[in-house]
Structure 1
Amino acid sequence: NVQYLSAVLVILVLDRPLSDKYWINIADANMPFVGIIEHTNMIDKSLYGGKHIVYLSNYPSRDSELYQKSGEELVEEFIPYLRQINPDFDRSWILEHYHHKVDGAQPIIGVNYSQRMPAHRTPIKNLYLANTTQIYPEDRGTNYSVRMGRQVARMVMEDAAAD
């Protein structure tokens, strides 16, 4: 019985960098995205034919206007805000764009969640559950998922040895 935030992601392929930062968190509720991750500020752009890869993310509800928009609509909406990040930014910098959305991207952790958090062992013998709803009190992240995977793998091995 876990609720989730959705995710909206726009990937821009640019002919030049948007910024010199890898990751920018946006705490302005008026901005239509909460994160700018300029992948090619960490990974060499030569791996992408000299192009610059920028991820723009947000976590709206599924019934939000933002979630319902097409990739083209989002790009057009985002452009004025990208100019707030880089006043020189121009639509002509965008060579390509991609749009993705996911219904269950981020579990919503409410009050007393630890008492409702799903267990790794399910009622079905030898069926285990390991996903982002169980990373609490940490936030989702690859490192925590790997750690949980190792913990559940040990649990599986221990249960198998006990049988």
Structure 2
Amino acid sequence: MEGQNISDIIEQYLKSILADSEHVEIRRSEIADLFDVVPSQINYVIKTRFTIQNGYLVESKRGGGGYIRIERVNLLDDIDVLNTLISVIGDDINERDAVSIIQTLYDEDVISRREADLMAVMVSKQTLALTDRQVADVLRAHVLISLLNRLRYES
């Protein structure tokens, strides 16, 4: 595990559980104890590695019996997931997040490698070579949402 940080290790652990089940329910403090980290480290991993852009839905319940539920979702089988993904994109999106969404579409066999490569080029900084980063992020969001809408209606 040389070269891996603790966030990578926690992510791999949670993904290994998800490989055997459609969802996992965890207690933040228990996972933190298991890896000898503070609970906020678990929050960080979940917020950055288990996002809708990466094909996961996260639900949390606070309180004494609280838990965090992580569920792997199939993007095209659940139209609500695509709608949520589009709403997460919102009015603008940076290149890193856009590529993350495209990678997830590829990983889930929604698009081919060639389609993923073409989509990545469409949303790249080089293609959207604008001096105003905010305008580029807005344009990138429009392009990505249009592509997702097209996928939504494809059978």
Normalising by structure 1, we get a TM-score of: 0.29
**Structure ID, larger Rg:** 1
Normalising by structure 2, we get a TM-score of: 0.30
Q: Answer 1 or 2: which has greater helix percent.
A: 2
Which is bigger in relative contact order (C-alpha 8 A, separation at least 6)? Answer: 1
